[in-house]
Amino acid sequence: MKNVERMAAQGDLLVMRVDALPSGLTEEKHTGHIVAAHSETGHHHIVECHQTHEARLFRSTDPFTCYLQLAGAGAEVVHHRPFDTHETLGLGPGLWMMRNQREYEPEGWRKVSD
């Protein structure tokens, strides 16, 4: 496991510590693991918290970006795939931006496939 201080990538997911949450976010309720990024193959990037109440997830109007507020012992971001998986990321308490990588095509922006 790699403990993240400021910024790290897990495949097509970029995780970065932020100082404050931007305005206009909507809190998304969860009851267990948080899907930080959906994979096109079903092998999602999951936030696993030591206790559910220690994590709050916020969605923005940008479909590629969400924010995570962690308390207590923090959390781990795990890539659920039995082969060729990405290293688990350890996140400490605080505010984190999670963004799917994207690339531009003539038709517009699209999510990078991992």
Domain regions of the chain by residue span = 2-102
Report residues of the chain scoring pLDDT below 50.
114
pTM as predicted: 0.83
Q: How far apart are CA 97 and CA 15, in angstroms?
A: 6
pLDDT of residue 27: 94
Largest CA distance in the chain: 44
pLDDT of residue 58: 95
pLDDT of residue 74: 87
pLDDT of residue 110: 57
pLDDT of residue 41: 63
pLDDT of residue 63: 84
pLDDT of residue 45: 81
> How many residues are present in the chain?
114
Instruction: Please report, as a single letter, which amino acid is at residue 16.
Output: M
